[in-house]
């Protein structure tokens, strides 16, 4: 979603898309290693080990 909002902003110049990008960037920084992306990566590793 973050990449999409940046791409949309660069193509259209829409300020709301830029603000969404900034907000998502701040959320990612504040979550650190406990963010949802890390949780999904851990789930994928668990599935691979399960076989």
Determine if the pTM surpasses 0.85: no
Asked if 46 and 39 count as a contact pair (C-beta separation under 8 A), the reply is no
Sign of CA dihedral 22, 24, 29, 26: positive
Q: Give the whole-number percent of the chain exceeding pLDDT 90.
A: 37
Residue 7 DSSP one-character state: H
CB atoms within 10 A of CB 5: 20
Angle of helix 2-12 versus helix 15-31 axis, rounded to 10: 150
More confident residue, 35 or 13: 13
Q: Is pLDDT of 6 > 60? A: yes
Alpha-carbon gap, residue 10 to 44, rounded angstroms:
32
């Amino acid at each position: 979603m973050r990449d999409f909002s940046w791409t949309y902003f660069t193509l259209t110049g829409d300020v709301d898309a830029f603000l969404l990008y900034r907000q998502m960037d701040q959320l990612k920084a504040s979550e650190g290693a406990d963010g949802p992306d890390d949780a999904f990566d851990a789930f994928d590793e668990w599935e691979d080990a399960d076989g």
